[in-house]
Chains A and B, each alone.
Chain A
Amino acid sequence: MADRITLEVTRYQPELSTAPEVESYEVPLRPEWTVLDGLNYIKDQHDGTLSYRWSCRMGICGSCGMSVNGDPKLTCGTFLSGYAPGPIRVAPLANFPVIRDLIVDISDFLKKLVRVTPWISRPDERPVSEREYLQTPAEMEEYQQFSMCINCMLCYSACPIYALDPEFIGPAAIALAQRYNLDSRDAGAHLRLDVLNTPDGVWACTFVGECTTACPKDVDPAAAIQRYKLTAAMESVKGFLLPRGAR
């Protein structure tokens, strides 16, 4: 194995130009190094102006998502050796506006997340003196998979529907809504129904399934979305058949 590899990194510095450019940097090809290590080396040794997000470097914070050879990846878990001899294209996460270099604006997702009521919602909040809400292991298993989301946005980057229609609420938001819908302690499903049972909610999704492929935490947002389509459809049918009072 060679001891160096080239990273072709997208640079976007709005104070210098109006469009992104690609710059090549050579970094050591160490077997244990990830793309993130490569970027840190570039910033350290080649160009201190390179800007990118990262934090935990162990796949749990969700900060370091970028496009590596066209695939949305967490750069802290993507090894350079997997792409040898290279070069490796490192670009900002697709489908988001780029602020600078490899940093994208994810405020759209943050707004959508709030809209799905991503917390335990109950009309009767118990006081602390009445102790905890109890939940069996089986009840926890119902939503546990969807609770693994680290908000890394790789699913939005992979989703062609989100690319075409930025109004689409998106995979992670729906998966997180399901995380609470399926939680036995929650009573807020009707709040989320109003947001998700809309043309830009679950109905924009055509089950491409790329979100599940891209997800680094095995959340399977595609499953969350399709399951919710059935839930929402059943609610709509009930809405047709049952009089208002019975619902």
Chain B
Amino acid sequence: MARRIKPTERPVEPLLWLLFSGGGVAAALFAPILLFLLGVAIPLGWIDPPGHADVLALARNPLTRLVVFGVCVLSLAHWAHRFRYTLYDGLQLKHSLINLACYGGALLGSALAAVVLLML
């Protein structure tokens, strides 16, 4: 019989899933409205863009920065985990390089988010 992997030896999967789930909620709640406003309504002229001073003040607010950071990190974790599994389910691709690219990409994106938010 193959050696069974004890949970404590591979605690990574459950934690990745928790991040994926949190990201699913965060993305579901925030992505539609933000993409609608910033990506469609304002560019198409349906709504006037906020003034630079106003949006800068909003972005600099510590609560805004915290929430935006959380949403970005969780959403990237959501993408990384789901995309890794999609490559396996859809194209039957499984490789540690894929895991590295996905989770590494999410970490990199999170770092970039931190930099952008700190430099506001």
Contacts and interface: CB of A to CB of B under 8 A. Distances in A.
**A complexed with B:** yes
Interface of A: 160-161, 164, 193-195, 197-199, 203, 206, 229, 232-233, 235-237, 239-240
Contact of A197 (B7, B88, B89): B7
B95 interface: no
B5 A199 contact: yes
A164 B92 contact: yes
Contacts of B7: 193-194, 197-198, 232, 235-236, 239
Contacts, number: 46
B89 to A, nearest CB: 6
B14 A199 contact: no
Contacts of A232: 7, 14
B4 interface: yes
Contact of A206 (B6, B10, B85): B85
B8 interface: yes
5 contacts: A161-B89, A197-B14, A199-B10, A199-B13, A203-B17
B119 interface: no
Contact of B6 (A161, A194, A233, A237): A194
A194 B6 CA distance: 6
A164 B85 CA distance: 12
A194 B7 CA distance: 6
B34 interface: no
A232 B7 CA distance: 9
B11 interface: yes
B4 A233 contact: no
A164 B13 contact: no
3 A-B pairs closest in CB distance: A236-B14, A233-B14, A197-B7
Interface string B1-33: 000111110110111011000000000000000
Nearest to A236: B14
Contacts of A229: 14, 17
Nearest to B6: A194
Contacts of B17: 203, 229, 233
Contacts of B15: 233, 236-237
A160 B89 contact: yes
A160 B92 CA distance: 11
Contact of A203 (B4, B6, B13, B92): B13
Contact of B18 (A161, A199, A237): A237
B88 A164 contact: yes
B4 A195 contact: yes
A197 B88 CA distance: 19
